[in-house]
Amino acid sequence: MIQLSVNVNKIAVLRNSRGGRDPDPVEYARVALAAGCHGITVHPRPDQRHIRVDDVQRIAGVLGSAEYNIEGNPFAAPRGDHPGLLELVRATRPAQVTFVPDGDGQVTSDHGFDPVRDEARLAPCITAFKRLGCRVSVFVDAGVSGLERLAAIGADRIEIYTGPFAHAHAHAHAIGDDTLALDACVATARAARAAGLGVNAGHDLSQRNLVRLIAAVPWLDEVSIGHALFAEALLDGLGSTVRNYLAILDTAD
C-alpha cells in the first residue's frame, strides 16, 4: 500500500502571514492523522518562512505511531534559533529525513540533488543522519542518472520531484500530453528499484494527477502532498463552514 504523508507547511504559511498562532499546523496534523493518513511531512527552512522550529517539535508530540518525515537541506548552516537540519532531527528522531537542495531564493523546491555530482558531499551526511536511526531519502529529478551511487553511500530511498509531471498533466491540452514527463518518473522509479532503493514521490501532486502517476508506478512507497491537498480541502470544506456560520447567525433571530 502506498503511504500518504500530509505536508502541513501551507498551514504555517497562512499563520505566518497574519502572525499569532492560528491556524496551528499541529491541529491540522491531528485532523489529517485522525482521517487516516500515514504520516506528516514538514519542511523547516532556516529562514522559518513557514514551519518553525517549535512547530517541528510540537508536531513530533502528536504523531503516535504515524511516521514523521522532515525535509531540508543538510548543508544549510544554522541561523538564529534554527539549529540546522541535523540538530532538528536529533531532537525529534523522525522515521525519515528527506534531503532537498533548497535555498532562500526558492519559493518552493524546484530541483533535486544530482547523484553523480553530489555523491561525495552527500555521503557523510547520509551516514550522520542514519546514525540517528532515520531512514534517508534524497530528492531527485525525474530522469536523473547514477541512482546506484546513492544506494552505495547508504541512502534508503529517493523522492522523485514530480513538479514537471504535474505541470505537463495540467497543461496537456496545450503541449499534447504528459507522456514524456510521466515516462521520466517511471524510468527513475525503475532505476531506483533496480538499485535497491525505495521510491517516494512528491511536489504538485493532486487528486487530478495522482491516479495517473500511481497507475504507472504502483510500487511507490510514499507520496508527500501538501499544497494541492489543502487547496482542495478549502473548496470541499468551504460550503459546510459557511453553513455553520449561517446557523450561528440564525440564532440571533
Domain definitions of the chain by residue range? 3-226
Give 189-229 pLDDT, tens digit per residue: 999 999 999 999 999 999 889 999 999 999 999 999 999 99
pLDDT, averaged across the chain:
91
Q: How confident is the model at residue 141 (pLDDT cuts 50, 70, 90)?
A: very high
Architecture in CATH of 3-226: Alpha-Beta Barrel (3.20)
Contact 221, 2 (CB under 8 A): yes
Going by their DSSP bridges, the two strands 135-141 and 96-99 should be labelled as: parallel
The rounded distance, in Å, linking the Cα atoms of 104 and 178 is: 30
pLDDT, residue 243, reads 77
Question: Closest by alpha carbon to 177, among 216, 232, 141?
Answer: 216
pLDDT, residue 56, reads 97
Range of weakest confidence among 3-7, 28-32, 242-246? 242-246
Cell for 148?
546506484
Give 120-138 pLDDT, tens digit per residue: 999 999 999 999 999 999 9
Helix (H, G, I), strand (E, B) or coil at 191: helix
Contact 42, 71 (CB under 8 A): yes
Residues of 67-97 as b/e, b for ≥16 C-beta within 10 angstroms?
A: bbbbbbbbebeeeeebebbbebbeebebebb
Contact 165, 178 (CB under 8 A): yes
Cα dihedral value 13, 15, 18, 22, nearest 10:
170
Query: What residues act catalytically?
Result: 43, 71, 203
Helix (H, G, I), strand (E, B) or coil at 198: strand
Cell for 64?
503516535
Spell out the alpha helix ranges (H) of 65-154: 85-92, 119-130, 147-152
Q: How confident is the model at residue 12 (pLDDT cuts 50, 70, 90)?
A: very high
Beta strands per DSSP E along the chain: 3-7, 39-42, 67-72, 96-99, 135-141, 157-161, 198-202, 222-225
